[in-house]
Chains A and B, each alone.
Chain A
Amino acid sequence: MSVSDLVNSEMSAAEGMPVDRPVLRVEDLSIGFDGVTVVNSVSLDVRRGEVVGMVGANGSGKTTLLRTVAGLLTAESGEVRIDGLLAAQSRSSSAKVEISNSERARKMAYMPQLAESHPFTTLETVLMGRYPHLGRFELEGSADREMAWRAMERTSVVEFADRKLDTLSGGERQRVVMARVLVQAAELLLMDEPTASLDLRHQILTMDLVREEASERNVGAVVILHDLSLAARFCDRLVLLLEGRKIADGTPWKVLTPENLRVAFGVEGLVEPDPVTGKPHVLLLGTENSGREDLVGAGRTVHLICGAGSGRALMHQLRVAGYTVTAGVLGIGDSDREAAERLGIEYVGAPPFSSVTDDQHESHLKLVEAADHVVLLPMAVGMNNVRNVEAALVSSNLLVIEPPGAGGGIGDDVVGDYTDGMASRLRRQMIERVGEIPESTLLFELARGAL
């Protein structure tokens, strides 16, 4: 038992809650085809009542992982336990599966990515979800039919009851399969893009159903989703996969960061609170190599006064939006300087932790004056770099970014002032003049200014 397990169990005990067994436990699962590893030692727990969103780029292993958990693929190594019972055998293990096929079908429902076309009617298709609950020659009874009608009402496919699936549209078929999944009355739902073919309204309503199953029937759900904002809105937890590895697992706020978007999807994005749900909302900006001339930032220069990584995300985002980016005096070893180097951004350099010299300050002022906009980011200021903040004063087009956490966001980072209040005074002076904006709205401000 690891330290964190001990802490968790003690915490649960302290709260008087029973330590409940996860409905799904995936342990160190690796899956490969023809010697190519597709999923690489992924571990994952899903509790009852919990909706877990699985996100990641195409080919990151989401579907493979889900299909293996569903027992459709054989893993190279690792374990899948449903309700504590070993449910899938891996090639490297001799452990026996502890659950029969039909028992597994009663505990776990799988909804494939593609809702197939076939000659069964909607009602027949939905009733198929009852098969695992019936004996081999037992026919569906009135209770099963009642369940089917109820599920069909919930996914609004009642009007297609007698239509054959091959006469329905992709989205209609997907709702029929959803009804079949509901009728299966499983404790664990595995859903591969259940909203893929649905219109906007049905996307929301389908995810509402998943949530309802989780809260009313206490089922656990793993849902693959491509729409990150939809995932953030409906999932308690997100799991982010990159090249078969789990690179993040936690609340939507924790997982959906501009950094993770960049690493896992190769896109620049802004993450803001959704005005309705307060959950993270992802605004896609574009990719690093968009490079088009009609972008809002084309021909305009933004100068960043930053340090210790405070400007890194903006450097990426501004460049995607077409801006030319320059940066203030950055000492050697500063992570903003490394980012500027990597992105080929013009900046004034300095030795580590040394005070800004007159020469460096002069060069810095030139960049500030040449820029269309100057952005002052929240950062720790000492006597060595206080001149960076002073340089901002000369700009006639200044924007001051408020510290993270100040505007109802996340985190509670306090920006350090190690200058006996000098930096804070300068900052306050500038805020009085131009105000303060959250980092996530900067691009909007700039775009509005450009129009």
Chain B
Amino acid sequence: MAANIAGEHSVERVTKSVSVLRRLYVGALVLGGLTVLMAIVAASVGPFAIPFSHTTTTLLSLVGIGESTARPAEQAIIESIRLPRIFLSFFVGAALGISGGIMQGLFRNSMADPGIIGVSSGGAVGAVVAIATGLSTVSAYFLPFFAFIGSALSMATVFLIASVGGRFSMTTLLLGGIAVSSFLGAITTAVIILTDDLNVQREIIFWIAGGFDTTRGEDVRIAVPIIVIGALISVFVARDMNLMLVSEDEARSLGVRVALVRNTLLVSASLITGTAVAFSGIIAFVGLVVPHVVRLVVGADHRVLLPLSALGGGLFLLVADTAARVVLSPAELRVGILTALIGAPFFIYLLIKTRARMIGL
């Protein structure tokens, strides 16, 4: 009999832990099911109410099952107005959820979110530049392109500030993010004040508040592939992220190419956050709150956490956007305002609950 540190008695092997596959499977089934139900609700409600039965048959007919029972006007509203919005809000939420999960893992800090380290404000400056110069009206591709460049630049800057000899200081990272964010915020404000065009001003302010009321089918076709690719890349290195969250040294000693994985994640998180910001404006707290809640339920394993944060973020933003459409009906609340109204108190709750503990929960 081999030595046992306890020696005298053996403890029973008891665990409540569920296998990775099972957690993924059950989580995806629950969140996916809720998303489908929510999509039917979202496609039905609004100033122009459509019966659930009509919506359901229309959605089923779109995936090739049966015939739509809806009237042509209802079909047109579902297909060209509500469905793109459902898709985009879901995928933007998914992007924010997964990139929040990436940030929290990468920075070993559960208080990290894409906005906190300056990616959102960078994206905003990019978008503002595109709007102010009128480039956004030239081609629908310019706005996301500029927002993406802005996100990438601000993220790289914060990283450069916080990295010391290839390692990251958490405090410097957060302070650097705050500094870069306020600098970029100043640029955005300056552009708003200095521009003479009232339409441009309005467009920027509207854009910053975040929302999906201008969503078109074309936006979905550009944004969704980028978000899906970025998300898949990060899921590809999810296991490596687990080790990096434990410690960089241990990750490297267990065969992870830390610098490569980190850069890959930075690029993919930047890509999907930038894309999300570009097509929806700034939507606060989804990236912070969703991975948090998902972690509480399924644990910290990124192989489960990242995919479910994407689904959870998508579902959350779909719900929030639907709520934003109906709470002040026929007027509309910007969804970015709504998520901040829910997210900020939740953030405070987390701060109080975790207190000194920086990672974990």
A complexed with B? yes
User: Which residues of chain A come closer than 8 Å to B256, judged between CB atoms?
Assistant: 101
Quote the shortest CB–CB distance from A233 to chain B (angstroms): 15
Which single residue of chain A is at the shortest CB-CB distance from B236? A136
Chain B residues, CB < 8 A from A153: 4, 6, 10-11, 13
Complex: chain B residue closest to A206, CB-CB = B5
Question: Given the complex, which residues of B lie within 8 Å of A166, measured CB to CB?
Answer: 357, 359-360
Is the pair B3, A118 in contact by a Cβ cutoff of 8 Å?
no
Q: Which 10 A-B pairs have the closest CB atoms?
A: A105-B255, A156-B6, A110-B253, A156-B5, A102-B255, A166-B360, A101-B255, A119-B300, A119-B360, A205-B5
| B253 A121 Cβ-Cβ under 8 A | no
B15 near A118 with CB under 8 A, answer: no
Residues of the A chain whose Cβ atoms lie less than 8 Å from the Cβ of B295:
119
Contacts known (A102-B255, A110-B249, A131-B243); A156 close to B11, Cβ less than 8 A: yes
Judge whether A105 and B246 touch: CB under 8 Å.
Answer: no
Give the distance to chain B from A206, nearest Cβ to Cβ, in Å: 7
**A104 and chain B: residue at smallest CB distance:** B255
* B292 to A: closest C-beta gap in Å: 11
Do A161 and B360 touch across chains, with their CB atoms under 8 A apart?
no
Q: Is A184 an interface residue (CB 8 A)?
A: yes
Please tell me which stretch of A4-12, A40-48, A66-74, A347-355 contacts chain B, meaning at least 4 of its Cβ atoms lie within 8 angstroms of it. Answer: A66-74
Interface stretch, picked from B16-24, B135-143, B186-194, is B16-24
Find out whether the CB atom of B11 lies under 8 angstroms from the CB atom of A70: no
Chain A residues near B361 (CB-CB < 8 A): 119
- What would be 25 A-B contacts, judged by CB atoms less than 8 Å apart? A100-B255, A101-B256, A101-B257, A102-B255, A112-B247, A114-B247, A116-B246, A117-B359, A118-B245, A119-B295, A120-B299, A121-B299, A136-B236, A136-B239, A156-B7, A156-B11, A158-B11, A158-B13, A161-B13, A161-B17, A162-B16, A162-B17, A166-B357, A167-B360, A205-B5
Q: How far is the CA of A159 from the CA of B10 in the complex (A)?
A: 10
A305 CB-CB contact with B under 8 Å: no
Q: Do B360 and A117 touch across chains, with their CB atoms under 8 A apart?
A: yes
B5→A72 contact, CB < 8 A: no
Interface size class of A (residues with CB under 8 A): 35 or more
Minimum Cβ distance to chain A for residue B86 (Å): 30
Quick one: closest B residue to A153, CB to CB?
B4
* Contact of A162 (CB < 8 Å), options: B4, B15, B254: B15
**Contact partner of A128 among B12, B14, B254, CB < 8 A?**
B254
- Of all chain A residues, the one with the shortest Cβ separation from B237 is A136
- Judged by a CB distance under 8 angstroms, whether B252 is at the interface is yes
Instruction: Determine whether A226 belongs to the interface, using a CB cutoff of 8 Å to chain B.
Output: no
List CB contacts (< 8 Å) of A139-184 with chain B: 139-140, 149, 153-156, 158-159, 161-162, 164, 166-167, 175, 177, 184
Contact A105 B250 (CB under 8 A): no
Given contacts A139-B20, A164-B300, 7 further A-B contacts (CB under 8 A): A120-B299, A128-B254, A136-B239, A158-B13, A166-B359, A205-B7, A206-B5
A262 at the interface (CB under 8 A from B): no
Contacts of B250 in A (CB 8 A): 110, 112, 116, 177
Evaluate contact between A109 and B17: CB separation under 8 angstroms: no
B164 at interface by CB-CB < 8 Å = no
The stretch that binds B, out of A76-84, A208-216, A381-389, is A208-216
Q: What B residues does A149 contact at CB under 8 A?
A: 13
In the docked arrangement, what's the CA distance between A403 and B360, Å? 62
Q: How far is the CA of A106 from the CA of B250 in the complex (A)?
A: 13
In the complex, B301 has a CB within 8 A of chain A = yes
Check if A161 sits within 8 Å of B5, measured CB to CB. no
With a cutoff of 8 Å between Cβ atoms, the chain B residues found around residue A164 in the complex are 300, 360
State A161–B16 Cα separation when bound (angstroms). Answer: 9
Instruction: State the CA gap A125–B17 with chains docked (Å).
Output: 12
* B262 part of interface (Cβ distance < 8 Å): no
A312 close to chain B: CB less than 8 A: no
Task: Tell me if B2 counts as interface (CB < 8 A to partner A).
Answer: yes
Task: Choose from B2, B5, B15, B255 the contact partner of A131 (Cβ within 8 Å).
Answer: B255
Interface flag for A129 (CB, 8 Å): yes
Contact A184 B246 (CB under 8 A): no
Query: Contacting A209 at CB < 8 Å: which of B3, B21, B242, B247?
Result: B3
User: Cβ of B216 < 8 Å from any Cβ of A?
Assistant: no
Q: How many A-B residue pairs have CB under 8 A?
A: 135
Also in contact, A154 and B4, with CB within 8 A (given A110-B253, A120-B245)? yes
Report which residue of B3, B21, B108, B361 has the largest number of chain A beta carbons within 10 angstroms of its beta carbon.
B3
Among B19, B249, B300, B301: residue with most chain A CB under 10 A = B249
B277-314 interface bits toward A, Cβ cutoff 8 Å, 1 = contact, 0 = none: 00000000000000000010001110100000000000
Provide the residues of chain B in CB contact with A255, threshold 8 Å.
none
Assess the B19–A139 pair: CB atoms within 8 A. Answer: yes
- Distance (whole angstroms) from the CB of B107 to the closest CB of chain A: 13
Q: Nearest Cβ in chain B — how far from A82, in angstroms?
A: 12
Q: Assuming the A-B contacts A102-B255, A105-B254, A110-B253, are A128 and B5 also in contact, with contact meaning beta carbons closer than 8 angstroms in the complex?
A: no
Q: Closest approach, in angstroms, between the C-beta of B210 and any C-beta of chain A?
A: 30
Measured CB to CB, the closest approach of chain B to A272, in angstroms, equals: 27
* B246 & A128 in contact (Cβ 8 Å cutoff): yes
* Cross-chain contact A139 with B360 (CB below 8 angstroms): no
B357 cross-chain contacts in A, Cβ below 8 A = 166
Chain B: CB-nearest residue to A146: B13
Chain B hits for A103, CB < 8 A? 255
Cβ B246 vs Cβ A118 within 8 A = yes
Docked-complex contact A72 and B252, CB < 8 angstroms: yes
Given known contacts A121-B299, A139-B19, is B253 in contact with A70 (CB within 8 Å)? yes
> Looking across the interface, which residue of chain A has its beta carbon closest to that of B305?
A119
A153 CA to B14 CA in the complex, in Å?
12
Please name all residues of chain B whose beta carbon is closer than 8 Å to the beta carbon of A104 when the two chains form the complex.
Answer: 255
CB atoms of A67 and B249 under 8 A apart: yes
Specify which chain A residues have a CB less than 8 angstroms from the CB of B13 in the assembled complex: 149, 153, 158, 161
- Bound-state Cα–Cα, A206 to B250, Å: 19
Residue contact B359 to A118, C-beta cutoff 8 Å: yes
Q: Assess whether A129 is in contact with B254, with CB atoms less than 8 Å apart.
A: yes
Q: A155 contacts which chain B residues (CB < 8 A)? A: 5
Q: B residues within 8 A CB of A116?
A: 246-247, 250
- Does residue A361 face the partner (Cβ distance < 8 Å to B)? no
Query: Is A123 an interface residue when CB atoms closer than 8 A count as contact?
Result: yes
Q: List residues of chain B with CB within 8 A of the CB of A259.
A: none
* Chain B residues closer than 8 Å to A156, beta-carbon distance: 4-7, 11
Binary contact readout A175-217 vs B (1 if CB under 8 angstroms, 0 otherwise): 1010000001000000000000000001001101100100010
- On chain A, the residues within 8 Å of B10 by CB distance are 153, 158
A-side contacts of B255, CB under 8 Å: 100-106, 131-132
